[in-house]
Structure 1
């Protein structure tokens, strides 16, 4: 009996070892968009290195992506309307569909079963099965759609550039139920949702100010935030649209780039009242909070896009400024915030810095890098 037990145990252990050989960890990985090549560079955070390149993803000039809950698959939204499912363990494109003419971002449902794509052409939002990429819903809007995010309860929220509305698409019943909120303002251009899924905020391009929704309300209504914040200031040419995303919340405040002004705006996340402004080196594009919320890192639009400023959230003052190189496009913090990775397009590199000492720790060569996306995003609402 002991010999039989020993044999069974040995076979079980050998089988387990065989399975272990097939398992790959994904939590330390990320993808960098190489916009000129239509490729993704797979990077390892701990090694500060590129480990592979995945090609054949079409036009990635304004690409973004989201991850499946297990962090294995990335869903890539290309400017050519392409939706691509990428396996980062097997390091290949699993499937690719051209679902529109010009897509501008996407989201994945909280259960990981649905992937939604926001379109400029033909407008509207299309929703796909995450496993097969078969379309399960087409939501026409007759407008460019922007600011698409996931919300708790198998919902997607997005805004209409042309009509100044925000729509909430609820898939919890198995079919889509649409709630339309009017009066959001002129030309909403991007949006964020808080990590708890409660507050959705759109920035407005056609007028000063922002608009918020309380998604916990039985009937969400538009709440105007900072109307006329630019009054008395001269509008500057907008060379690149600012971005609002969930990482722009630091502590109890939102930190948002102003449109057409060299400022970031501070807003209390509960009262939605202004708490301050910080003058910046240029027109901010991303205002990104380190994961602990202690500092906000800001990059800028052309022609001042070689510079990063770091702002202390306690004093709202710039405490550090440096120049990584020409055309800083994006930043991504490691999950606990000890490093920041910065894509410097015209230097052909991703540069890595210690977020406390500001020491440069490494550099990875990349072909016209733009967006950087670590797999930890898989577990965050709105990312």
Structure 2
């Protein structure tokens, strides 16, 4: 009996600690842009778990995750890079790395965090554990000229790629040797590259061009081929509309042999085939911002720029027809699918809420309060290229 009694407190403590164990695979962070905080949520029960404050200017913020899905790295508009511990629900470290930043990426091995900057223009790369600076790459393209950097993505092989908005260039940075980064520069790719995407296999980097029609495409497997122009005349003969918000190419969508992406300055979603040729333009409610594929690729969900940003439209990928128009409320800024696609979460900024919508019935199954919500980022992004 004397031997058994000392074990009882130990067993009790073990049981208690086991009850507190929790994975992060069904978690995510929502940007509450007006007050500089994020809301921690989980999509198994569609609940809010906590808020984490002190993240600065989040007016154009994005997040990437560590490969174990424990840490989120928040890129703030004020140049702040913040590492968040999701399990402990707190900020681990925060560094002010520039005066104005516009997103970032995490390397293939998860050891490097790259940040794209407007001011001063360039990319800075940090150790993901300590947030110590590893590489500083100013986007100097001519004597005395430094460009904003945009469309920063990660690709296999410890590669980062990004565009130089003011210079009309694309740079590719190979970080296999962190002491000696290899930078390959592609000039004259087109006027004002404003955003970029990478195909899900990590092979093709595509930059949207705001200053002219078309897209600039780079084969990351064969850099020696240089940049190819695709979709050069998708807007030919049409008067461009005022652009109130730039579309996000990272929200592009691929379904089977079709690729859908937003048109700039038109109320259209463009459809390309596998040869990067336009096969159709789908008329939609407004200027599309995100064209996002449900994980099974059966549907594409589209949101729109101001002043028509109270609407979501759903496109069937087999027929390429709109099958549903939703009116969630004022300023639907962002959408995020649960990993298997049964729900889509959408931020309704001016209604101060996030809706969870069933993607089959289109019914709202849950609404969560949020202060001016914008970006929604689930942790399963940790295992996707370019996100």
Q: How do residues 191-210 of structure 1 correspond to structure 2 at under 5 angstroms?
A: 191-210=196-215
Instruction: Name the counterpart of 1:43.
Output: 41
Q: How do residues 216-235 of structure 1 correspond to structure 2 at under 5 angstroms?
A: 216-235=221-240
Q: Distance in 1 between matches of 2:9 and 2:369?
A: 45
- Does structure 1 retain, via aligned residues, the 8 Å contact 2:252–2:259? no
Q: TM-score, normalised on structure 2?
A: 0.94
- Consecutive unaligned residues in structure 1, runs of 5 or more: none
Q: Distance in 1 between matches of 2:133 and 2:177?
A: 17
SS where residue 197 of structure 1 aligns?
coil
Shift, 1:20, TM fit: 3.6
Alignment equivalent of 1:103, drawn from 86, 94, 101: 101
- Consecutive unaligned residues in structure 2, runs of 5 or more: 140-145
Going from structure 1 to structure 2, the CA distance change for 1:322 and 1:178 (only over 3 Å counts) comes to same
Instruction: Name the counterpart of 1:362.
Output: 366
Shift, 1:12, TM fit: 10
Instruction: Name the counterpart of 1:63.
Output: 61
SS where residue 194 of structure 2 aligns?
strand
Give a deviation string over 1:333-361, Cα, whole Å, max 9, x none. Answer: 00011100000000000001111111111
Shift, 1:161, TM fit: 0.3
Instruction: Name the counterpart of 1:287.
Output: 291
Shift, 1:250, TM fit: 2.4
Alignment equivalent of 2:183, drawn from 178, 184, 191: 178
List 4+ stretches of structure 1 deviating above 6 A: 9-16
Alignment equivalent of 1:135, drawn from 133, 142, 148: 133
Provide the aligned C-alpha RMSD in A.
2.0
281-290 vs 239-248, which moves further: 239-248
Instruction: Name the counterpart of 1:120.
Output: 118
Q: TM-score, normalised on structure 1?
A: 0.95
Shift, 1:119, TM fit: 0.3
Matched, 1:54 2:59: no
- Does structure 2 retain, via aligned residues, the 8 Å contact 1:83–1:96? yes
Q: Distance in 2 between matches of 1:157 and 1:218?
A: 12
SS where residue 147 of structure 2 aligns?
coil
- Does structure 2 retain, via aligned residues, the 8 Å contact 1:251–1:294? no
Matched, 1:374 2:378: yes
Give a deviation string over 1:86-143, Cα, whole Å, max 9, x none. Answer: 0010000110000001100000001110000000100000000000000000001111
SS where residue 219 of structure 1 aligns?
helix
Matched, 1:262 2:262: no
- Does structure 1 retain, via aligned residues, the 8 Å contact 2:64–2:105? yes
- Does structure 1 retain, via aligned residues, the 8 Å contact 2:251–2:291? no
SS where residue 117 of structure 1 aligns?
strand
SS where residue 356 of structure 1 aligns?
coil
Shift, 1:46, TM fit: 1.7
Give a deviation string over 1:248-298, Cα, whole Å, max 9, x none. Answer: 222222211111000011112x31111211001100011111111111100
